[in-house]
Amino acid sequence: MKFAPLASVASLVAVAFGQGVIITLPTGGANVSAGSNFLVDITRPNSLSGSEEVAVVIALQSCAARACSPPSDVLGSILYNGPFNPQAPNPNPDHQQLNQNFTVQVPSGFQSGSALLSVTHVALIGAGPAPWIQYQNVTVNVG
């Protein structure tokens, strides 16, 4: 009987990882310019478990003068904060996964150098449902 709580936690963790997102654009090391727009593509791989998308927050944090903080502590400049509704292309002959593109703008005057682009993903998972938050990031260069 002592294993039941452990099994429940393991099951919830497995469901949560199935709901995760991936930043497919920009790729790590990409160059972006202060004051200009760029594309952020967020993919949500297919999953058998149920979830309801709530939102994403896309942020940019300068790492030029000091090491970046984890996105769970500091987001930096918010580039987008709102609904997340990933869709599969229609038609979808290549069987692409669900994704959504966001055009965001680097703030003018943003410090040049290394920066952390982060996506905070919020979803509801399971039958309860339970809230779930995920952080993904890539390093970009602001020129």
E strands, 4-142, where?
22-25, 31-32, 37-44, 51-62, 77-82, 98-105, 113-125, 130-142
The helix/strand/coil state of 52 is strand
Note the pLDDT tens digit of each residue in 45-57.
876 567 899 999 9
pLDDT at 80: 98
Element at 88 (helix H, strand E): none
Note the pLDDT tens digit of each residue in 59-101.
999 999 999 999 999 999 999 999 999 998 777 677 678 999 9
Residue 3 has pLDDT above 70, yes or no: no
If pLDDT is split at 50, 70 and 90, which confidence band does 18 have? low
pLDDT at 10: 38
Q: Is 86 exposed, middle or buried (0-12, 13-18, 19+ CB in 10 A)?
A: middle
Query: Omega into 26 within 30° of 0, i.e. cis?
Result: yes
For the chain, the residue count is 143
Summarize the confidence of residues 12-41 as an average pLDDT.
Answer: 82
Query: Omega into 107 within 30° of 0, i.e. cis?
Result: no
pLDDT at 113: 97
Tell me, what CATH number does 130's domain have?
2.60.40.10
Residue 109 has pLDDT above 90, yes or no: yes
Residue 117 contacts residue 143 (beta carbons within 8 Å): no
Residues of the domain holding 24: 3-142
pLDDT at 51: 84
DSSP string for residues in 120-143: EEEEEETTTTEEEEEEEEEEEEE-
Number of domains comprising the chain: 1
pLDDT at 92: 67
Parallel, antiparallel or unpaired: strands 22-25 and 37-44: antiparallel
